[in-house]
Amino acid sequence: MKYLYIGRFQPFHLGHLDAFMQAIKRGSSHIIIWIGTPEIDNDRNPRSINQRKEMIELTLWTAWIERHLYSFEIIPDMESDKDRYEYIIDKVSDFDVIMSWNTRVQDIFSASHTIYDPEIETCVLIHGTDIRRRLTSWKIVLAKWFLDKWVYQILEEYMSNSNW
């Protein structure tokens, strides 16, 4: 069974890893990680595609998830949900389950695909917006609790070399 995991991953946090592990436990043989909003650069999307891929790969590596179990695709920015849906279906049709917490993604695919909305098994509800807010304030130490240690170190390096 193949899963299609759609998200922005800004940043890839322990909640994302938890969902990834749930997909493996549910029998996924391969997870296609679709990274959205590659060309938008704003407060909600401060990290580049390459930075996000690096964070994801490091987190999965530290969790002992073998590289053959996942692959990456990029969703270009599109005007409409219909265009986004058609692009994804045209680009990769060989998947069984869509995995996302995002209700918009779930709505786009619910009529044609099985949707898996991962349960939060971590001790706290994790949200990327809250992590980004903490990383730009004095609460940076609190953000550490929600991130893989390697991702946190990468973000610290990015922050010291940029205005984020």
How many domains would you assign to the chain? 1
Measure the CA–CA gap between 117 and 103, rounded to whole angstroms.
Answer: 9
- For residue 82, the enclosing domain spans 2-160
- Residue 129: the pLDDT is 60
- Residue 146: the pLDDT is 62
- Residue 126: the pLDDT is 58
Burial class (CB in 10 A: 0-12, 13-18, 19+), 79: exposed
Measure the CA–CA gap between 68 and 70, rounded to whole angstroms.
Answer: 6
- Residue 38: the pLDDT is 65
- Residue 130: the pLDDT is 61
- Residue 121: the pLDDT is 55
Is residue 63 within 8 Å of 71, Cβ to Cβ? Answer: no
According to DSSP, the residues that pair with 2 across neighbouring strands are 30
- Residue 150: the pLDDT is 64
The torsion defined by the Cα of 56, 158, 9 and 78, in degrees rounded to 10, comes to -120
- Residue 132: the pLDDT is 58
Per-residue pLDDT tens listing for the chain (164 residues): 999 998 888 878 778 888 888 899 899 999 999 888 767 667 777 778 888 898 899 889 888 889 999 999 888 888 888 998 899 899 887 899 999 888 888 999 999 999 988 775 544 455 666 665 555 554 455 555 566 666 767 666 766 665 44
Q: Locate tokens 């069984």: which residue?
A: 96
- Residue 13: the pLDDT is 79
- CATH number of the domain where residue 135 is located: 3.40.50.620
